[in-house]
Amino acid sequence: MKKLVLAYSGGLDTSYCVKHLSKNGYDVHAVSVNTGGFSKEDTQLLHEKALQMGASSYTSIEAIETYYNQIVKYLIFGNVLRNNTYPLSVSAERIIQAVEIIQYAKKINASYIAHGSTGAGNDQVRFDLIFQVLAPEIEIITPIRDQQLSREDEIEYLKKEGINISWEKAQYSINQGLWGTSVGGSETLTSNTPLPESAYPSQMEATTSEKLTLSFAKGELTAVNGNKGSAIANIKAVENIASRYAIGRDIHVGDTIIGIKGRVGFEAAAPLLIIKGHHLLEKHTLTKWQQYQKEQQGSFYGMLLHEGQYLDPVMRDLEAFMESTQKTVNGDVLLTLHPYRFTLDGVNSPNDLMNASFGSYGEMNKGWSADDAKGFIKILSNQNKIHQHVNN
């Protein structure tokens, strides 16, 4: 039989792939990659369902640490919010999932690799790009895309094969991971309809304000409210606290890789708090030109990541630049949480550039004289004076 590795999520599309491929001469090895969305119970259910559908084996790869170290860390360093809104919750996950799956396929000497993406979304591009670059010798099989199947077609096929699981489509599609949760529904297929409260997985429980302190060392989150832990544990801690306030909800509208507009809801309390807190700390600890360049490069990094270009060498260059800028990004960020919103109250940092003894903005100058200021301003005006003189 032809050995094949399938990127498996347990949903209708990948379940169809398991059954269809196994019936057509492929030795199907189902693989899921956990980037923060699967519990042990979820993994056990995926295992049982994959074998029921006809897979020869099922493997769950734990990749949360890899996901943080290779991607999430740089999304924080770069303060990455696509279109100033979306923290790349799902699109960033797909990159690591694709890399892990292709590495597993090479490990077991598979000749084929498959995924359940349709021909109308971003994920097909992300998976195929990674697969083709890392293993051009492995053939890519995509039954849903190639056969242009509808949900009804897939369900009918599985019923004929004796698979009588209820495939009733959930009202809302939820994809959860370490760096946020996407929410899709009929409302996001329109341009003018918001998602209802009930669509979001976390409901508001807290109604009184609460203080929150985020501690950073070289740009990484090292403690929450003084409790030290790993960056991953700290992200989860922030999410547990802030999701009770229904913070981090929004709808992202953006350009897909294939050139059409897309709209998706998301819930990302921890990413938004951490990115905004980190950004405030950088305003206090980085120079004007460091901040300027980081805004350009962080946005560029996020765009390339979204487009599936993670393996381009420029991404390593950008990561090296962003990591270099984090040497002085140390200290505490003070926030207050309220229902549906938060405020950034201030920072305490040993690298705070406001602490310099040169003067206080708008108050008193200590490092220069009045004549120094007048001379500086006079020379600064030269360029515009010359322009006005020549052209007037």
pLDDT at 360: 65
| Residue ranges of the chain that CATH labels 3.40.50.620 | 2-160
pLDDT at 90: 87
pLDDT at 140: 98
pLDDT by 10s per residue, the chain, length 392 = 799 999 999 999 999 999 999 999 999 999 999 999 899 999 999 999 999 999 999 999 999 999 999 999 999 999 999 999 999 998 899 999 999 999 999 999 999 999 999 998 899 999 999 999 999 999 999 999 999 999 899 999 999 999 888 888 778 989 999 999 999 999 999 999 999 999 999 999 999 999 999 999 999 999 999 999 999 999 999 999 999 999 999 999 999 999 999 999 999 999 999 999 999 999 999 999 999 999 999 999 999 999 999 999 999 999 999 999 999 999 999 999 999 999 999 999 999 999 866 666 666 777 888 899 999 999 999 999 999 999 98
Distance of CA 207 to the CA centre of its chain: 28
Q: What are phi and psi of 344, to 5 degrees?
A: -95, 110
pLDDT at 369: 87
The CATH superfamily holding the domain 2-160 is: HUPs (3.40.50.620)
Beta carbons of 15 and 21 less than 8 angstroms apart:
no
The CATH superfamily holding the domain 173-286+325-348 is: Argininosuccinate synthetase, chain A, domain 2 (3.90.1260.10)
Neighbours of 42 (CB within 10 A): 15
pLDDT at 362: 63
Tokens 């519990």, residue located:
39
pLDDT at 56: 97
pLDDT tens string 245-288: 999 999 999 999 999 999 999 999 999 999 999 999 999 999 99
Give the pair of three-digit tokens for residue 254: 């953006």
Vertex 184: Cα angle to 179 and 187 (nearest 5): 140
The closest of 335, 187, 329 to 263, measured between CA atoms, is 187
pLDDT at 358: 66
Q: What are phi and psi of 372, to 5 degrees?
A: -60, -45
| C-alpha dist (Å) from residue 127 to 177, 197, 227, 246, 306 | 18, 32, 38, 32, 12
| Residue ranges of the chain that CATH labels 3.90.1260.10 | 173-286+325-348
